[in-house]
Structure 1
Amino acid sequence: MDDRPRIPETDGEDAPFRPHSSHWGLFSARMTGDGLQVRAHPGDPDPNGIIDNFPGALRHRARVTQPMIRRGWLENGPGPDPRRGRDEYVPVSWEKALDLLGAELLRIRDGAGPGAIFGGSYGWASAGRFHHAQSQVHRFLNTACGGYVRSVNSYSSGASSVLIPHVMGDYNGLTKRNVTWDQVADHSEIVLAFGGMALKNSMVAGGGVSRHVERGAMARAAARGCEFVLVSPLRDDLPGETGAQWLSCIPASDTALMMALVHTLVAEGLHDRAFLARYTTGWDRFERYLTGEEDGQPKDAAWAAPLTGIAAGEIIALARRLAGRRALIVVSHSLQRAEGGEQPVWMGMVLAAALGQIGLPGGGYGYALGAIAYYGRRNNAVPAPTLSQGRNGVADYIPVARIADMLLGPGTAYRYNGQTRTYPDIRLVYWAGGNPFHHHQDLARLTRAFARLDTLVVHELGWTATARHADIVLPCTMTLEREDIGACSNDPLMVPMRRLAPPVGEARDDYDIFADLAGRMGAREAFTEGRTSRQWLEHLYQPTREGLARAGLPAPDFAEFWEGEGIELPQDPDDGGYLCAFRADPQAAPLSTPSGRLEIFSETIAGFAEPDCPGHPVWLGQPYRPDAETPFVLIANQPRTRLHSQLDFGGHSAASKRQGREPALMHPEDAAPLGIAEGDVVRLSNARGACLAGIALSRDIRRGVVQLATGAWYDPLDPAAEHPLCVHGNPNVLTRDIGSSALAQGCTGQLTTVAVARHDGPLPPVRAFDPPA
């Protein structure tokens, strides 16, 4: 199946840089005697330093170099086993590994049925359009096994992606075709960002982008006179170029602040009654709650001040500044990754509606603007290459963040989006691309969940914690070691991703692994359709070429595209999407909600009768209350030196560590009474577990709050411990595994409460990147 040209280990000192793509941006690279050299795309005004993880990662000791089988599974056969995560591995040949795996898949498929197979994977494995691990594994399971139990939604936006279709309509349209960065630069007069628009988040996009424009757009807006207001416990959730006013709020109090802002608008007659009457439904019912007519408690600034930590006078003054101006309300993904996470998303829309700015250029509701690089840009006008996953013969699914619930409680009923569903009985999990020991919460519980399986299969390039729990580990190539096409649906440059280095050890492309495995199951032709990898690239390129031709634009054939530096794709106009059309004529362009309007009160959601998500936004109380045992709120947010946990062993990520541990941010006035100084290693703990982290002190964090990014590879001192200690700094040993609400069952990994203490005595070594025995 491998039709790729063989390339030498090095290109030579005079070799040209070849184009490539990553989720953190387009770049070019070459191999020399000194190793891999990378450089950013020349047209990128604000390139992402994460590309510097590549050189050190390419041949790192953490790479998986040959097929491995867990000793307990190899000797005793499939079945539940508490030794997962702490067993030895036995190297085997590719032939033996695929023979054993093929037989196990046939046993499950023909015995329990394809509904006993869970197809894991997450969409971040590769920026390439063909070697997209999620598409590859799902295509294989559909063609060779007849289907699989799938997951829906994402850890990033699990609550909002369920809520928004009920109250605003098209989720993708709201995030991908709404307010653009150009509109912010040219039209916004005040931007109120709940949770901010941190550049570390907008540096990343599926498929990669050629130009990171966010910093420049915000700087241009500020220079024009646009005001930025940041509501967050972290000052750097907006870049310094904005000159933002920082309102340091108590974590998870944003809904209360939004309600107080709307209450002030109503009390002073500053809300847009005409907009609410024409474009929304349910305002009258919500207003009774807002003013206290319903429950006796007005949601005014005095009420919100102690809940938010922001003075009542500041809240009132902010509401007055918003009224009558081109105001943009932004709510970040981070706010909805918490218990009750649906509420700030919904309430953000209500605030924007009360201001009457929705559907205007640079105004209204920019949900998740800045959360990812392809938000706030124009869509491409021609299709990007896409691999068909085929037809899934299994209808069952789970919300993605409920995997541990499913494995621990087969047959258990649960609520999701108005339905009562039942968790399936999963016997085999197939994971290709992704690391649930990064994404998921309460890792001790996840360990117990994976121990119940018959078989866990993982394709991996490195020895992640997920790979260390697998029964069969198949080494796959990283993006630099294979050919692909790099493209993003909201970036105009599509590039050939040429192979830059030979595979490490015996690593193979996912496609080639699945093709040979499908052959053992009688499904090679169905999976491959008779094509090699290169032939698939040519096939997938064709729709893009045809789209260019239809538009009357240059449409090079594949050979010309492959030898070039990339081609520019046309883009749709910056027309504001469906919200602009709705504002212009709500009868001709209604929303896809039941009423066709913005639903401040949703009859549908009210009909679900979920106490934790009623029919309009409510204040559910503070779920993250510090106490004597855990006096600090922990923010477990996205990292700045890597994408999720990818290439944590790369040089850029490693350089940010403190004594080899993930850095944790803390206010110096919180640290001093605990005897904690800059650079100390601390122990963060609660009832679920503990982790070690290296302290960085800053006044740019709210007192009483500690920040520790996700993505440090899980490294438990004792993998069998009921309450594990991660010596490397993975905060998901601490976070709670519970759904955002019965409506969405989204991830709640953003916040928890912890104790903090200086670690004295010898430091346990970090072994996260050492191959297992």
Structure 2
Amino acid sequence: MRSASTLGRRFLNAFGGQTATRASISNEGAIFASRHTLGLFLPPPAHKSLPKSQLVIMWGFNPSQSIEGTNTNWYLAQAKEQGTRFIFVDPRFSNSAAALADQWIPLRPGTDTAMLVAMATVMIEESLCDQEFLARCTFGFEYFRDYCLGVTDGMPKTPSWAEEICGVSADTISALAREYATSKPACLWPGCAPGRTAYGEQFHRACIALAAMSGNIGVRGGGAGCYVGQDVRGILKMSSIDGLSNPTGKSVVGWRWADAVVQGKRGGYPSDIKMILSVAGNRLNQCGDIHKGIQALKQVEYVVVMDHFLTPTARYADLVLPVTTQFEQEDVQLSHGESVYMFHSGKALDPLGECRTDLEIFTELAERLGLDGFPSDAEERWLPQLLDKSPVHLEEIRDQGVYWLSQDEVVPLQEFVKDPEGHPLPTPSGKIEIYSQTMAELGNPSLLPCVPTYIDTWEGPHHPLSVRYPLLLVTCHSGRRVHSTFDNVSWLRELEPHTIWVNPKDAQERHIQDGELVEVFNDIGSLIIEAKVTERTMPGVVSVFQGTWFELDDSGRDRRGSANILCKDTISPGEAAATNAVLVQMARWDE
């Protein structure tokens, strides 16, 4: 119930409207690809199906730290024990790879689509495609085939072609294509990280195409190649608080919020923003180009932040309203991922100090401003109402603690695959659109081509900037934080020091020793961080766990190692945040 962001939207829309933010920073590439290829959003592969997989390819996915639903790691361990083969494709040898991998294939960040397209070429040339599945369940495969074979542009997308781009040998690409095509069933499980690149939506569309070509969609132990999530609230018939429609109709991509403020209408944005209300977020810290974000917060006339702590965003506010934590209020929480359940979040203690709930704050503000939509008894009335039609009501969930929906093993798209005519997808053709008709209607074939296409990233080894900044940065998720949440917990910081991973070859070239402080920099910013010299990242690639709260010194360098001090606020054509494949340089740091 207490979705603070929804309550904030409801309040501003009741007040007369807002310039809202849109597009998920986490997985907009996957959302875009799903919308235009499948017409719907899918949950991850059924956990119980994983032990049935002969092969699981974890592509840019590290579930031991980026947890994808309850018990995912337990089911992955079960699959491993029962003989499932795991291949990890990732620039880093992650903790998940250390626990599960039979093979690790490192590749350059931002080049994943080139490798996937080359695998498709092998499957086409060696007649390894499931032609019956493609004929029944897909639309436009012939256009993708022509692209892979070079009929479209004169450039066959062979493994040798991809080797020059992604740094993976042609033999390795060919072998992976053959193994994936002939292992039945096989699950291609992509993470969100490869989609957070310059053309990230193409990665997710290519994954779906490969899954369709192999015939692994709609079968136990297989996978559809692109996962966004499912409507748990709808499945549990739980109502939601209406955010109300935005009278202005205006919005900007959330990752670009600072640019929208700084540039305003003269930069093509819909508004000249004068005030910012920040609710349930640490956007300054969690979006690219932190220096531009600081400029934006200083430029507007007033900034209000509602939060539990004095976060980096709150430090730049004119007014901070202290809100309660989940321990000081009652609510019902919903699951994320493949499982479907709700659990009771009880009130453990009274609000501390002057803290109030988000709902109390907005209710009192609405009363003072004479706005509708926040009744005085909302705290008592709304939660029971939201559960009115669900299988379990408030008193029951209070007593039970958890309600877990008993389901048979759910295999995404199983009904569609069995009967495409009787259970069509919500796409123009009713099928999986390898050639997307809705993307064709967008009319931007060079940036949003209708078939999965590799497009050179704007930052990479061949970019002119690589002469000054020859290393590619990837920003990963830490096991000791949830994005930036918990970074202010001192004992968690002691548990795992915050470092930058650097390959021994790159460290030796720069005379850097393990444990030394280094400066990492580019045209966007600079940070000081401890080096972790390790072979767990491929040469030419460095990685920093995102989410640390930045602290700038007098020279504007970040002394806490916040990755977004180095990231641009650029987005893909499908509005995915480009947080990975960032060009940087690194040098020893002497105070």
> Which band: TM-score by shorter chain?
over 0.9
Deviation at 1:495, TM superposition (A): 3.4
Pairwise CA distance, 1:300: 0.8
Provide the rounded CA distance (Å) in 1 between the counterparts of 2:273 and 2:267: 15
Give the equivalent residue in structure 2 for 1:423: 270
**Residue of structure 2 in register with 1:139 after alignment:** 10
Could you say if the C-alpha distance between residues 500 and 575 of structure 1 is closer, same or farther in structure 2, counting changes exceeding 3 Å? closer
**1:726 and 2:565 are equivalent in the alignment:** no
CA contact (8 A) 1:380 1:572 kept: no
Among 153, 173, 176, the alignment partner of 1:318 is 176
The Cα of 1:622 is off from its aligned counterpart by 4.2
Q: Which amino acid aligns with 1:732?
A: N
**Cα distance in 2, alignment partners of residues 580 and 197 from structure 1:** 26
Offset of 1:667 from its aligned partner? 1.9
Corresponding residue of 1:298: 156
Deviation at 1:355, TM superposition (A): 0.9
Amino acid aligned to 1:362: G
Relative to structure 1, the CA distance from residue 310 to residue 464 in structure 2 (aligned partners, 3 Å threshold; closer, same or farther) is same
Select which of 585, 591, 596 maps to 2:419: 585
2:167 is matched with which residue? Answer: 309
- Give the distance between the partners of 2:265 and 2:348, measured in 1 at CA: 48
Change over 3 Å in CA distance of 1:318–1:493 after alignment to 2? closer
Q: Report the AA paired with residue 751 of structure 1.
A: A
Q: Does 1:283 align with 2:141?
A: yes
2:476 aligns with one of 637, 640, 647: 637
Is contact 1:442-1:688 (8 Å) kept?
yes
How far residue 735 of structure 1 moved from its aligned partner, in angstroms, is 0.7
Mapped partners of 1:541, 1:606: distance in 2: 42
**What is the rounded CA distance, in whole Å, between the counterparts of 1:315 and 1:491 in structure 2?**
34
Q: CA deviation at 1:469?
A: 1.7
User: Matched residues in 2 for 1:246 and 1:508: separation?
Assistant: 49
Q: Hey, what does 1:102 align to over in structure 2?
A: none
Q: Which runs of 4+ in 1 moved over 6 A?
A: 377-380
Are the equivalent residues in 2 in contact too, given 1:381–1:569 (CA < 8 A)?
Answer: no
Displacement of 1:494 in angstroms is: 3.6
Alpha-carbon distance between aligned partners in 1 of 2:355 and 2:115, rounded to the nearest angstrom: 52
**Which residue identity does 2:569 align to in structure 1?**
D
The reply to whether residue 713 of structure 1 matches residue 549 of structure 2 is: yes
| Residue 568 of structure 1: aligned partner | 403
CA 1:527–1:196: 2 relative to 1, 3 Å: same
> In percent, how many aligned pairs have the same letter?
27
CA 1:313 to 1:447, structure 2 compared with 1: closer, same or farther past 3 Å?
same
Shift of 1:565: 5.2
**Structure 2 CA distance for aligned equivalents of residues 568 and 382 of structure 1:** 10
Matched, 1:201 2:55: no
Matched, 1:654 2:500: no
* Partner secondary structure for residue 162 of structure 1: helix
Per-residue CA shift, 1:722-754, capped at 9, x if unaligned? xx311111111111111111xx22211123011
Aligned residues: 584
1:567-626 CA-to-partner distances (Å, cap 9, x unmatched) read: 42424433324x212111111111111121111222332342322222212221243324
TM-score, normalising length from structure 2?
0.93
Give 1:195's aligned amino acid. Answer: G
Shift of residue 378 of structure 1?
8.7
Gaps of 5+ in 1: 1-129, 206-211, 415-421, 549-554, 762-773
Q: Which residue of 1 aligns with 2:307?
A: 460
In 1, Cα distance between equivalents of 2:385 and 2:215:
47
Residue in 2 that maps onto 1:498: 346
Tell me what 1:438 maps to. 285
Mapping 1:326-725, distance limit 5 Å: 326-368=185-227, 381-384=235-238, 386-411=240-265, 422-488=269-335, 491=339, 494-523=342-371, 526-531=372-377, 533-544=379-390, 547-548=391-392, 558=395, 561-562=397-398, 564=399, 566-577=401-412, 579-610=413-444, 611-626=446-461, 627-656=466-495, 658=497, 662-718=498-554, 724-725=556-557
1:349 is paired with a residue whose SS is: helix
Larger Rg belongs to: 1
Give the C-alpha shift of residue 493 in structure 1.
Answer: 5.1
How far does the alpha carbon of each residue in 1:535-589 deviate from its partner, in whole angstroms, 9 at most, with x for none?
4333334333xx34xxxxxx6x62x643x35142424433324x21211111111
What displacement does 1:684 show?
Answer: 0.5
Alpha-carbon distance change, 266 to 366 in structure 1, aligned in 2, over 3 angstroms: closer
Unaligned runs of 5+ in 2: none
Post-superposition Cα deviations, 1:234-255, rounded to whole Å, max 9, x if no partner, equal: 1116344423310011111111
Q: 1:384·1:488 contact (CA, 8 Å) conserved in 2?
A: no
Partner of 1:63: none
708-717 or 644-653, which moves further after superposition? 644-653
Distance 1:413 1:165 in 2: 29
- Following superposition, the deviation at residue 657 of structure 1 comes to 5.6
Q: CA deviation at 1:699?
A: 1.5
Amino acid at match of 1:183: S
Question: Counterpart of 2:519 in 1: which secondary structure?
Answer: strand
- The answer to whether the 8 Å contact 1:272/1:355 transfers is yes
RMSD: 2.4
Give yes or no for contact 2:425–2:432 (8 Å, CA) kept in 1. yes
Q: Distance in 1 between matches of 2:339 and 2:107?
A: 35
What is the letter of the counterpart of residue 758 of structure 1? R
Give the TM-score normalised by the residue count of structure 1.
Answer: 0.72
CA distance in structure 2 between the aligned counterparts of 1:283 and 1:494, rounded to whole angstroms = 40
Write the distance in 2 (CA, Å) between the matches of 1:608 and 1:132. Answer: 33
2:43 is the alignment partner of 1:188 = no
Of stretches 621-630 and 284-293 in structure 1, the one that deviates more from structure 2 is 621-630
Letter in structure 1 aligned against 2:564: N
Q: Is the 8 A contact 2:341 2:405 kept in 1?
A: no
After TM superposition, give the deviation of residue 656 of structure 1 in Å.
Answer: 4.3
Report the Cα offset of residue 458 of structure 1.
0.9
